Structure 1
Amino acid sequence: MHLRTQTTSSFNCRGQLLPKYWPTKSKQREIKKAMIDIPRWVTNISLPGVQTREPVKELDLHNINTINRTKNNNVDDPMVMAKIYAILEAIEDRVEMHKNIGEQRTNWNNLLLTSINALTLSAATMVGVAAMTGGAPAIAMKLSSTSMYLAATGMISVMNKIQPSQLAEEQRNAARLFKQLRKQIQTLVSIGNPTAVDVNELMEKVLALDKAYPLPLLGGAMLEKFPENVEPAVWWPPEQRKTEQTKEDFNGWNGKLEEEMREIANVLQTKDEADYLRLGAIALKLNKFLAVTAPVLTGLAAVGSTLVGSPSYGGFAVVMGVVGGALASAVNTVEHGGQVGMVFEMYRSNAGFFKLMQESIEWNLREEELERRDNGEVFEMKVGLKLGRSLSELRSLAAASSVKGDDIDEFASKLF
């Protein structure tokens, strides 16, 4: 071996003195070539005394890159999030609006009821006093009582038209449903990555609620207080085809669960929804009767008060003026003090709740692609919670419905 002398000493990276004699450049090239040309079938070389590090696995690097790419793809779209937060702000504003206006309309009901009863009772008292006196005082009392009866008639007509207690119940329902929608959005943001499809669905839900529970009283926007037919309240948009929810083959669904949900939907329709529509029809008929009776009584009392002291009618005019005012006050108290309009709206809203549950079940069952349905186990639990039943009770109800059919004497809901 041809060697040449190194005139200066060298040190390696650890500070150790290197040998003074190094191979020539030609020999260095031969050594490098020999190192590079190691056969590929040699996979395990043991060198005593040499510490080696654990090799980095290519698979691990691939997994890390895959995770990074997944994280980057799941980053929420800033525009989508901006739109969702804009919807949340609008919902917060609507909750406060419905809450405040609901309190205002409750005050309307109380103040109008008190004022109208005070007017009618005062007018009835004046009619009685005018019948026992004569001269100028009697004429003044007759005119005062007539004016008060006419004012009461107009106020009762307006109050019966707008139904403040029913309006207040509408605002309470709207505030509760908007709060529920707000919670749904917060859950969507916290556990998932919202998309543009979610934004469109949320917008439709907000607009459907606005249509179901309008705020204005003028311009035909107010709900009809005395409809021809009682129908459930509808505050949700038509169901659209859902996006793919999961990659699972069955998504928690099986034939037994589908049959169970069909039976529950049948019970909801034939028992719960039908019963609340029946009760709503009774409340509507009672409210119509009271709404017509009260102004008619005050109008008759006003006529009677003008005829007090007339020789032709005599005591009949006094009876009509006094008794009419007293009965009108009683009828008005039953209608608005008992909040019959609120009761009707409550029944209508409850019927809508059961209709929504029934449609939710049918929407899932109509979807043939299971991965687009809500998870079956979670959906069953939600149905049980909304009906106030455990899963075992829910399955028992479905079994009883499959045996008895429409003759089942049990309601689906245990809450109301």
Structure 2
Amino acid sequence: MARKTYRNVVVGLDIGSNKVASAAGEITFDGAVNVLGICNVPSTGLRRGNVIDLEDTAHAIDDCLNELERLCGINIASARIGFSGAGISSLSNRAVVAVGNPGEEIRSEDVERVMHAAKMVPIPADRSIIQMLPRQFIVDGYDGVADAVGMAGSRLEVETTLITASHTAVQNLIKSVVRTGLQIKDLNPNALLTGESVLTPAEKEMGVVLVDIGGGTTDISIYERGTLAFNSTLPVGGEHITRDLAVGLRTTVEGANRIKEQHGCVNIESEESKEIEVTSMHGQEVRSVSLHVIASIIQPRVQEILELVQSELFRAGMIGIPPGGMVLTGGTSNLGGITRLVEEYLHIPARSGVPENVSVVTDDFKKAQYAAVIGALLYDSKTATSDVSLEQELMDSWLGRIILWFKDLFR
């Protein structure tokens, strides 16, 4: 069934390995975002960010959207989709063109030509460019230009970051969404959306590393000069910690996940006295386990993830410590003591990142696991156009309702 969205309301959808989350927000006249509601449902249709079951994924998306519609009292027509996995990676490219009218001002057509030229880079046949981000324009050798339109010059260059992903994985994700009847407004990597909600403009400008540890994947992003300069995805995340706990504590995966969310910690030295009850796998035995034991299971896996993150940063050519340090987000960033472990293990300042710059009805929405879906709302607030039809505009006034009544009467 076709969906219809109310005026000034935007919707974000985060399709993750373990859950599907959706959020609706109203864009005010000054461009601010008021979050109306957030919903999430479990998903078993993806593994490490890649679709393995179209029907299960589509079912989870549909359930999540239906729940959001009931919560907010809206009919959803389209949404901005955020995703991870799919072999996401980035590459840098530079292109140059001659301005069409040398000596006169640069036109939008010149910018389009240089951006198109920047896309002309050889990539494997099984990969697609899903996002192109201009880092800066260079006009006649003068760099640091954010918007070249209207400037005088004869030579226009651009430095870009190209985000690529597996063509097959992206197509399967799109097929899952289309089966629900939802229109895809745009498809964006979570690294871009998460940066909108948890990073400050100063961090983006000076340089910062953003690490989003999700259920099945970990996204690593480097921001410089106000934009995304590097992005890659690791096929490891919070579900690996959950399975480590299930094996180490001899309990179910569901029980291990509950323990991770409620008592998960990585600081072995400080967690010794408190004990929690753990139910055995068959459910007939309950025993006490100290937080020290839980931390001793979780910490090695987190250290492994950090080592992989460090390797990716070396591969990206990052030398030294960025001024903004490292920002951790995603559900796994809620583990107790994880920022301290990052600082001690990687020797880099770290903080936890939660969604900011939005108005929420409850602080429960300002959680790290909702960073991507709230980021989709913030991203939309900069580019969104009204989804309201003329009839919806008329319905907002008593005179409009009379006009529509007469239109229906004489059809």
- What is the TM-score with the length of structure 2 in the denominator? 0.22
- What is the TM-score with the length of structure 1 in the denominator? 0.21
Task: Name whichever structure is richer in helix by fraction.
Answer: 1
Task: Name whichever structure is richer in strand by fraction.
Answer: 2
Structure with max Cα Rg: 1
Specify which structure has the bigger relative contact order, considering alpha-carbon pairs within 8 angstroms and separated by 6 or more residues.
1
